[in-house]
Amino acid sequence: LSRLDGGERLTTSNLEGKVVLLDFWATWCTPCVISMPYLEQVYQDYKDKDFLFVSVNTERTNQPAVREFLIEQELHFPVYLDSGFLQSRLRVTTYPTAILVDKKGIVRHIHIGPTSMVTLRNGIDELLKE
């Protein structure tokens, strides 16, 4: 995946040995927008652990609006752009969709639609202990 800010591309080697939270979202998705401050806190709380937050925006053709949204919402996590390939491969059809992957690269939890941050944190904590 390409980063919105032009930074380092995300490859599978970046994910090895880490618990990964993939969050698929769009700026027009109200539940996605509501969850952003909470996801920012998850990012801040876990970024120094064996954890990687992969925020996947699905609006590849709307990059200026996505950048503006991130500034307005004061979000600091890296955002990656998906042309639809990853969504198709993971069968993501609803936003938001959050996917938790363990350190071995195995999908362990899929949350479709709005999800409690307590549920996400519990899942992350459980996988970090393994």
Cβ atoms of 24 and 31 within 8 Å: the answer is no
80-86-87 Cα angle (round to 5): 100
Exactly one of 15, 29, 33, 75 is catalytic; name it.
29
Q: Is 32 a catalytic residue?
A: yes
Q: How far apart are CA 102 and CA 27, in angstroms?
A: 27
Contact 110, 83 (CB under 8 A): no
For Cα atoms 80, 82, 85, give the angle at the middle one, nearest 5 degrees. Answer: 145
Out of 10, 19, 20, 32, pick the active-site residue. 32
Contact present, 19 and 102 (Cβ < 8 Å): yes
Determine whether 115 is an active site residue.
no
| Gap between the Cα atoms of 52 and 56, Å rounded | 12
| Catalytic machinery residues | 29, 32
